[in-house]
Amino acid sequence: MDAYKRAGVDVEAGKKFVDTVKRISNNADLGGFGGMFPLNLAGVSDPVLVSGTDGVGTKLLVALEADKHDTIGIDLVAMCVNDVLAQGAKPLFFLDYLGIGQLVPEKAAKIVAGVEQGCELAGCSLIGGETAEMPDMYSNGHYDLAGFSVGIADKSKLVDGSQIEPGDAVIGLPSSGLHSNGFSLVRDVLFKQQHLSINDVPEGLETDLGEELLKPTQIYVKQLMPLFERKLIAGAAHITGGGIADNLGRVIPAGLTAKLERSSWQVPAIMRFIQSQGNLSQADMDQTFNLGIGFILVVHEKDEGEVLQELESANQPAFKIGHIVKGEDKVELSEVQK
């Protein structure tokens, strides 16, 4: 055994893992000093690159508890590309970072296979990444994930909310579940306070907690890019940490308010269960979870019908959840109906 392996870093395992990733991604260029991407600017007169970086947070601890690592990479890609998409940009490529205590190639391959699957769902390329084996940083099989995505848009098609005006419709696209936010609170309520198991199937849920909590974050790129290309979107928000109000509020201009009607959509059962088990206030829920809405579009009144029709044609559920009025608070959520 060489000195580096005795210190906890297995170089040969790293080489084996890189070869595995090349097969997964069908990209023989992986493993070089830098990732390369051929840039096709046809049809883009004034190109702007838009970047996004993010992680998966403590959802990773649920994956570890369930020993299920094949979809967490989808979450990673989603968290980055949905942010890029919210500005009207088409994701081009993606890079990932995996920091891990002990590199077990088979386990790491499952993680990266999820990243590759996420890239396929987003229509972008996995062009590189970094895997760092650090036994003194991560123990007990723990690991951390981070990602970085770059997209492109014609400057005239960038979306920043500046075109939002009174009368515009606010359209919600449902989330697939918790997505990748709020898991520190989820784990505290379900596993520390209530002492539930990852294998429990609580009343009102159709699957065990592990499967429910690990549902991958929805990726909205392919469904929405045609709408951005046709300039049908005045504002867009990816609903992540901070909930609906904080994220939608980023794109609402001063002097306008997005008035949202809670009764226009259903809060997922898992979120209602977490609220009841933790005796959480509505304010706690609002600022922590997406409440069942993963992405929000603001569209001009004249375009509302066309946008909803296009989303239906793309098999993307969507519904009007509010409208824009003059006001001081950027987002107003209606009272919860008892």
CATH class name, domain 169-333? alpha beta
pLDDT for the residue 42 = 87
Find, among 301, 286, 267, the residue nearest to 332 by Cα: 286
Q: How many residues does the structure list for the chain? A: 338
What would the pLDDT profile of 228-252 be if each residue is shown by its tens digit?
A: 999 999 999 999 999 999 999 999 9
End-to-end Cα spacing for the chain: 66
**pTM of model > 0.85:** yes
pLDDT for the residue 33 = 81
pLDDT for the residue 337 = 78
Q: What is the DSSP letter of 60?
A: H
Find, among 266, 242, 259, the residue nearest to 298 by Cα: 259
Segments in the chain below pLDDT 70: 1, 3-4, 6-11, 13-31, 338
CB under 8 Å to 305, separation ≥6 — which residues? none
Strand partners of residue 238 = 295
pLDDT for the residue 336 = 86
Rg (Cα) of the chain, in Å, rounded? 21
CATH topology of domain 3-34+43-157: 60s Ribosomal Protein L30; Chain: A; (3.30.1330)
Give the span between the Cα atoms of 302 and 96, in whole angstroms: 41
What would the pLDDT profile of 20-37 be if each residue is shown by its tens digit?
A: 666 666 665 666 788 889
Our separate counts of H helices and E strands in the chain read 12, 10
Helix (H, G, I), strand (E, B) or coil at 228: helix
pLDDT for the residue 8 = 66
Give residue limits of the domains in the chain. Answer: 3-34+43-157, 169-333
Sign of CA dihedral 10, 11, 16, 20: positive
Angle between helix axes 105-122 and 221-229 (nearest 10 degrees) is 30
pLDDT for the residue 68 = 97
Helix (H, G, I), strand (E, B) or coil at 331: strand
Do residues 307 and 147 touch, judged by C-beta distance below 8 A? no
Q: How is 68-129 classified by DSSP, letter by letter?
A: --SSHHHHHHHHHHHHHHTTTPEEEEEEEEEEESS--HHHHHHHHHHHHHHHHHHT-EEEEE
